[in-house]
Structure formats: structure tokens, C-alpha cells
Structure 1
């Protein structure tokens, strides 16, 4: 264990990935909030989303927040590829050919499980809560460890990456890779132009038609649309290494809870393995994690103790699930999670 002032590192050693490749000295960065109770079962696991590090998502944690650290022991595991956990930017020699491998959600949850069981000695998980890529991880947790997970909240996420979602990501990836710094499958320098292009592409997908029609960006403190795009999106991903973003896009595009030997690609079998209480909260106007994906999953949750589909009634698209500056959406999430935890 390597303790730092802000987060800790769980060294998982050499890990065999679902691809069969071995990732040498795989490291999981994480941070905890609150205290573990005597029964070691007041645990909330809160995985990170695309490009996010724990500091980007911890705004949701607080006595008056969605997740209460005074009652629960909250663990944020940083998803591989985010620059803190093992990523292309900090693990250049994980394979003999120097190429960064595909790290699946199954790989991520396997290491997270080891962190909780081996190091933190957690017995039960009261809730796995995740937004976007975090929501996909929450689904994996529930299917792979049904004996351990009591509740799961999937916010703007799905059990697998839909074809339409994959195509959206192809556009994001193409914008990034169009930068001249992308050579022979990797970036030789930070792709400044590619990052800006990626941000502009993302801006049209992350928020809804109604958001722009109603000029809701004015409520976020912007005087003009170009000002919103420039200050919110041109540099939105510049804080991350280009290769790290590509690694997480690969994880996202290949996300499928059934893509393992246990379920053999059978989504019905994978979702039938879930016994937790399930709360699915898509954004009502989300363009790429569309509510219809969750609606199609509901009939497959045949063994869940309960299953609720409750779209977030918001014009903020995908961002409704991460409403840092959207009080109404934040209140909706808090109310739903409080009710779920009371069950």
C-alpha cells in the first residue's frame, strides 16, 4: 500500500485480464469517505465515470448530498485509464510490446472486489452507485457478485454498450485521433487540436436539443452559446492524456456484462443473476445512454428483489446524471437514493 495525502493505491500485482493478457503490477487508486461499521456492511461503492477522477465526483458525497458519509463508508475506485489507476500515461511498459491492453469492466470489477475483500475486509455492499461508465460498472458488480451487493443504482448507464452508443464514441474517437500528434496508434505529444475537436463533438451529445433550444446554458452563467462551448467544452478533456482517453473509450465500447465465461454472451443470463434491488435512472433526454436501453433490460431482471425504472425528468441530457450545478436533478437523485437505501 502507498498512502498519499488524497488517495491510496491498491497494488493488485500481476493480473490476468479477460483477454488472456497479463497486466504487470496493476494498480487501483481509490479514496474512502466515512467509517466502516462493526458489521462491515455499511458500504457504498461509487465507481468513476469517463475521464473522471475521484475528486471530480466527490461533490455528490456529503451529509446533505446524494451519498451520506456520516452513515455510510463510501469507496470511490478510480477506473483504469483515468490517469490515477493504471493507465497508458503511467504504465508504459505493462506488456512486452509496450502496447496498452484492453481493460474490460470485468477486469476492473475483479480488482475492485479484491480491494474491498482482501484489503478493506468488506463483507456486504449496501449500494453500488454509478453514473455513465460508473453505471455500467454498477451493473457488472450486481451481476458478478450477487451474494455481496444488496442494492444497485445505475444512473445514465446500461448493461452493455448499445450499437448507437458505440457509433457516438467512434465520432468522439475520430475527432481526437485526427490530431497530427496521433502516430502509429498512439499520441507522441498532447493532442491540443484533437482535444478541442473532441470537446465540440461531445457538447452536442452530452446535452439535449431542448437544452440548446431553451438556452439553458444561460442558467449556468454563460452569456452566449460560443462562450459556453469555449469555456465548458474546448478544454474539457485537456486535463487527461490522449492515450488515457482512448483506453477508456475502448473499455466503454466493449462494455457488456455478459461478455465473460460465466455468462457466455447471454445478456438474459447475466441480468437474471442479479438479486439486488435495482434502480435504473436514465436521463429522459440522454442521447447515447437512452432510456429505451434500460427499458429493454427491465424484463430481464427476473430475480432482482425489486426493479424500478425512473428516468430523470430533465433537459440536461446525459449531464442530468451528474448535476453539479442543476439543483432540481440533484434533488431528484437524492430523493430516489434515500428511498432505495431505506428499503
Structure 2
């Protein structure tokens, strides 16, 4: 039995001028929507993650407390639960799956929030990594609906440096002969393992490896044990075409790439009315604090809250660094109480 719901979206035309026919948005809710419908938190997923990989931040006594709030976790297109290359019928399956932007994701999430639940105001939107990208989109696209945002370890627009990193992941995955231009009979395991090792040099910081946190704090026996067990183990569970679909979404992430803002990033950032804590990690190699500082400079109601850590990008999730989670949870509580 699935532990999530499906919102049947019908045929949706995307920014790419392609159509997902019979589109499906998978989601899970936690807690109870109150009578006033004013206790709502939207918590989008990250690259390859599902609602299950978001649950580490939800629980009694935590900021995202289901005893107090109604928490909606929408699954991103391409993650294998919502419409994805792996679950879409031919001819739009596999590498023929339409190109989906973060804007497309958030517009359909807005339909879920309004059409299914009749919600008009959102107390908080928060998310890690690609979840942060969607969080920024919520603030920019629906500025009168969203009261607070806390994007952590993510950006409002994919930087050129971040784009290049993702080209390395993509090239490693596609170099496997078994990938067969996306028309593979079985998952390209060599390509998935290679892509995981590209990721491994970026997900954690130089200091993380220097102090051997993989051994001393995560319990791996050796560096190779960590590379295989943590990194390869993560990507081998995924579908290659799904990963590439979400990678395209990531690379083309930009809150200003729509008719509202016409590519003017400063205008889009300036339109975010929500009270915002923007929380980069001090050693994040994907989303460095310098990038977040530039974004915050153009947001009228935002505060930069850099997390001092050597856990790099994984300071934010998925529940890997206990001390950094405490910092994040405290900031979420502070923002929700404000």
C-alpha cells in the first residue's frame, strides 16, 4: 500500500511547450488542517528524494510539528512517484519525457494546495537543495500567499558553476554503454556508480574529508567503504532517466524565467514579500554563502543565516548532521514564531 496520495492533474502544458498527459502529482500530508486553514507548511522534495526522505525534519516537538501544523510534502516531477520518465506510458516515457522546470512544479503544487485543500495562505515554505529552489519559486510566484520562507542550502537560480558540476554528473552517467541513449533495458549500473563518485567530491567539504568524518562520525570503515556504501548505494536505487530529468530541472532553475519577471532575477527576488531566513552552509560547494548573500541583498524582507559547518551541502539533509539539524530546527521555530 502506498503511503501517499495522488492528485490527478489532467494534461498539463509546460514551459517547454511540451505536455505531460494525464499528469500525476504524488504528495503526503502530516498533521491536520485546522478550521481556519492557516496552519499550513509546504515542504518540497530535493534532487531524487521523495516525501520519505523529507521526514527527518518532521515530528512532535520539532519546528515542523504535525501536532501543530498541516504539512504538505509534494513530490517533484521526475522523482519516480509523481509523473516521471520511469512511470509515464510510451511514447513519452524514458528519454522522451517532457522537460519540466521548477516553475512547472510549483504551479502544479499551487493547484494541489488550492484545489484539493482550499488553502489561501501558507504560513511557511521550506526545503533543502532543489527543495530550496522550489521554496524561492513559491515566494516569487505567489508573493501574496506565502507568509514565510526558509530555503536551506539552495539557490533561486542555478549558478554557472553549479551547472558545470551537473554536466560532470550527467556525462558520467551517460558514458556507460548500457545507458543506450536512455533506451536501456536495465539500469546502467556502471554509469550510476560513476555519477555517484562525481557527486562524492562535492556533497561534503574538504574539511569533512580531512577530519575523516566519514569514518569517525558516520561509521564507515574506510574511504572506499564510504564511497561505495553511502554514495554508490544512494544512486543505485534510482532510475537513470529520472535522475536526468530532475538534473535538467535543476540546471534550468531560475525564479525569473517566466512571464512574470522576464528573466530579471533582481526583480523576481525583490517581489518576494515573505519574511525569509536564507540558510546556506559555510562550506557548501554547490551553493556557497556568497551566492546566497547576493540573493538576500535583493530580497526586501530577508536575513542571511549562514550555518557554520564542515558538512558542506549535507549540513541540510537528509538528516545527516545532527548538530546542524539543531541549528536549522531552531531557526525554523524562530521564523514560525515571528
Task: Specify which of 224, 227, 235 is matched with residue 226 of structure 1.
Answer: 224
Task: Specify which of 252, 257, 264 is matched with residue 255 of structure 2.
Answer: 257
Query: Which residue of structure 1 aligns with residue 103 of structure 2?
Result: 106
Task: Specify which of 281, 284, 289 is matched with residue 279 of structure 2.
Answer: 281
| Structure-1 separation of matches of 2:94 and 2:151 | 37
| Structure-2 separation of matches of 1:224 and 1:124 | 49
Query: Which residue of structure 2 aligns with residue 115 of structure 1?
Result: 112
RMSD: 1.5
Q: Which structure 2 segments of 5+ residues have no match?
A: none
| Structure-1 separation of matches of 2:95 and 2:329 | 44
| Structure-2 separation of matches of 1:301 and 1:325 | 30
How far residue 230 of structure 1 moved from its aligned partner, in angstroms, is 1.5
| Structure-1 separation of matches of 2:2 and 2:95 | 31
Task: Specify which of 59, 66, 72 is matched with residue 69 of structure 1.
Answer: 66
2:23 counterpart of 1:26: yes
How far residue 175 of structure 1 moved from its aligned partner, in angstroms, is 0.8
How far residue 27 of structure 1 moved from its aligned partner, in angstroms, is 0.5
Query: Which residue of structure 1 aligns with residue 157 of structure 2?
Result: 160
| Structure-2 separation of matches of 1:16 and 1:335 | 40
Query: Which residue of structure 2 aligns with residue 319 of structure 1?
Result: 314
Larger CA deviation: 312-321 vs 61-70: 61-70
* Deviations 1:272-304, CA, capped at 9 Å, x for gaps: 1110001100111000111111111112113xx
How far residue 10 of structure 1 moved from its aligned partner, in angstroms, is 0.3
| Structure-1 separation of matches of 2:23 and 2:10 | 6
How far residue 96 of structure 1 moved from its aligned partner, in angstroms, is 10
Larger CA deviation: 326-335 vs 72-81: 326-335
TM-score with structure 2 length normalisation?
0.97
Task: Specify which of 166, 174, 188 is matched with residue 191 of structure 1.
Answer: 188
Query: Which residue of structure 2 aligns with residue 134 of structure 1?
Result: 131
2:334 counterpart of 1:336: no
CA distance change for structure 1 residues 226 and 96 in 2, over 3 Å: closer, same or farther? closer
TM-score with structure 1 length normalisation?
0.95
Larger CA deviation: 199-208 vs 234-243: 234-243
CA distance change for structure 1 residues 97 and 161 in 2, over 3 Å: closer, same or farther? closer
Q: Contact 1:324–1:330 at 8 Å: present in 2 too?
A: yes
| Structure-1 separation of matches of 2:213 and 2:94 | 48
Task: Specify which of 76, 81, 84 is matched with residue 81 of structure 2.
Answer: 84
| Structure-1 separation of matches of 2:63 and 2:37 | 21
How far residue 59 of structure 1 moved from its aligned partner, in angstroms, is 1.6
| Structure-2 separation of matches of 1:246 and 1:96 | 13
SS at match of 1:117: helix
Q: Contact 2:39–2:68 at 8 Å: present in 1 too?
A: yes
* Deviations 1:34-67, CA, capped at 9 Å, x for gaps: 0001110100000000000111111210013341
CA distance change for structure 1 residues 94 and 261 in 2, over 3 Å: closer, same or farther? farther
How far residue 189 of structure 1 moved from its aligned partner, in angstroms, is 2.1
Larger CA deviation: 180-189 vs 214-223: 180-189
| Structure-2 separation of matches of 1:115 and 1:14 | 15
CA distance change for structure 1 residues 242 and 123 in 2, over 3 Å: closer, same or farther? same
Q: Contact 1:92–1:98 at 8 Å: present in 2 too?
A: no
| Structure-2 separation of matches of 1:225 and 1:97 | 34
Aligned length: 337
Query: Which residue of structure 2 aligns with residue 169 of structure 1?
Result: 166
SS at match of 1:169: helix
| Structure-2 separation of matches of 1:325 and 1:319 | 7
How far residue 181 of structure 1 moved from its aligned partner, in angstroms, is 1.6
